Structure 1
C-alpha cells in the first residue's frame, strides 16, 4: 500500500524538489535551524548569514557566540542552535576539510554514526543531512509520517524511529530521489490535510485511510 500512496501523492503534488537551498552546506545549516520552528524563520536566519558572508563552516567557527546568536536569532532557541551549528561545522572542518561533498565517499552507517555523535544531532536531523545534503538513500521519519500512516492504519509493530524507518524503507524502493520526494509529499499532505485536526474530505488518499473512512461514516 505504501507504494500506491507514494504514487498517488506524487501525481497529486508533483515534483517538490526538496530541500530548498543553494548548496549542500546551506541544507546542513537549515536542518539545524529548522528544529522547533517554521521554515520562514529559518529563511530569515540563513539570509542573515548570507548577508554577513559567513555561510561557510570555517567562517561560522570564527564567529563569537554572540555574533552567531544574533545572526540566527529569528530561528528561535538561538543559544542552543548556535552550539549545535558550531558542533556540526567542527565535524565538517575536522573530518571533511569543510566540504559536505567529501562526505559522499563515506559509508552510510559510518557517516550516520558520526553525525549522531555530534552535539544536537538526533536521528531526524542526521537523516535530513544524509538524504538532502549528502545524497544518501535514507528515509526521514518525522511526526507527520507517524501521524499520516497511523491514521491510514499501517505501520511497524514498534513505535521507535528505527521501526518506522525500516517499515518505510522496506516498502519503497531504495532511491534518493524517491525518498526525498515522498518525504516532501508527506510534509505537504500533513500541512494541507492531515493536520492535528484533519481535513479528510478531498484528501488524495481518502480511499486508503481507515481514519477518514471511519469518520465519514459517523
Structure 2
C-alpha cells in the first residue's frame, strides 16, 4: 500500500472518524474558515454563536450589517479590526457573484472557484481550500502547519511550500471527498496530541513509518550503550 494511504489507515484506526468540519451548513463552514485565522476553534464557535443569536447568519444580513455591530459579535475570535470587514466583504461578494446562493457559487470548475476565493481579502490557500473541501464539496487536499510538520518528520517531503505539499498528497491519495476531509482532520488531531512541537514518539501510532522517530530511537539506543 502507498505509504501516505497506509498512514491514513493507521491514523483512522488509532483516532477513529473525526466528523470534521463541525457545522450545520456550508455557510457556517465559510464563516468559520474566515474567522479561524490565528485563533482557537473554541473562539470561532463562540463568535458563530453570537452571530446566530443576533440574527446575523446569512450572506445578506452580514453584508448589510454595520462593521461595529459585526465587531461586537466576532471580537472573541481575535483580529477584531480586520475580521469583521473581511467577513462583510466576503458576504457581499457571495451576493454579487451568486446572489448569495452557495450551490450556484460552487457549481463551477474548481480552479475557477479557487482563484475567485484567493482574490478575496484575507483568504489564503489554506482558507480557500478549506472552503472548497468542507463547504463546496470539492476534493482538494488542505495543507496546514500540522500537515507540514507530520509530513516532514515522516520523510515524505522536505519543504513547507503549500502547492508542493498539496500536490504530493493529491498524487498519492485518491481524490475522494470523504477521505480528504477525514485525512486532514486526522492529521490535525495527531499533531495536537502526539506529533507536537516536542513529539511523543513512544505514543505514536505511525512511529514505525516515521524517519524522525527512527532517528530518535537510534539516538536513544546509542545513549543506552
Q: What TM-score do you get using the length of structure 2 for normalisation? A: 0.94
In structure 2, list runs of 5 or more residues that go unmatched.
220-225
**Is 2:106 aligned against 1:97?**
no
- What are the superposed Cα offsets for residues 72-109 of structure 1, whole Å, 9 maximum, x if unpaired? 01000011111211121112111111122222311100
Instruction: For residue 129 of structure 2, give the secondary structure of its aligned residue in structure 1.
Output: helix
Indicate the residue corresponding to 1:204 in structure 2. Answer: 205
Tell me which residue corresponds to 1:62: 64
Residues 1:167 and 2:168 are matched in the alignment? yes
Alignment partner, residue 179 of structure 2: 178
Distance 2:12 2:105 in 1: 29
Deviation at 1:117, TM superposition (A): 0.6
Q: Which residue of 2 aligns with 1:194?
A: 195
Matched, 1:13 2:18: no
TM-fit CA distance, 1:61? 1.1
Contact 2:60 2:95 in 1 (8 A): yes
207-216 or 43-52: bigger deviation = 207-216
- Deviation per CA, 1:141-195, whole angstroms, max 9, x where unpaired? 000000001011112x654211111001000000111100000000010000011
Q: 1:114-144, CA deviations, whole angstroms, 9 ceiling, x for partnerless residues?
A: 0001111010000010000010010000000
Asked whether the equivalents of residues 24 and 101 of structure 1 are also in contact (C-alpha less than 8 Å), the reply is no
* 93-102 or 117-126, larger mean C-alpha shift: 93-102
Tell me which stretches of 4 or more aligned residues in structure 1 moved more than 3 Å.
none
The 5 Å alignment of 1:7-156 reads: 7-155=9-157
Max radius of gyration: which structure?
2
Q: Counterparts of 1:159 and 1:73 in 2: how far apart (Å)?
A: 31
Distance 1:64 1:109 in 2: 32
Kept after mapping to 1: 8 A contact 2:98/2:105: yes
Q: What is the rounded CA distance, in whole Å, between the counterparts of 2:91 and 2:216 in structure 1?
A: 48
The TM-score, its normalising length taken from structure 1, stands at: 0.97
Q: Any gaps of 5 or more consecutive residues in structure 1?
A: none
Distance 1:78 1:21 in 2: 22
Instruction: Please say if residues 152 and 159 of structure 2, whose CA atoms lie closer than 8 Å, have aligned partners that are also in contact.
Output: no
Contact 1:45–1:72 (CA under 8 A) maintained in structure 2: yes
User: 1:201 aligns to what SS in structure 2?
Assistant: helix
- Cα distance in 1, alignment partners of residues 8 and 27 from structure 2: 28
**Number of aligned residues:** 217
Say which SS state the counterpart of residue 27 (structure 1) adopts.
helix
Q: CA RMSD in A?
A: 1.0
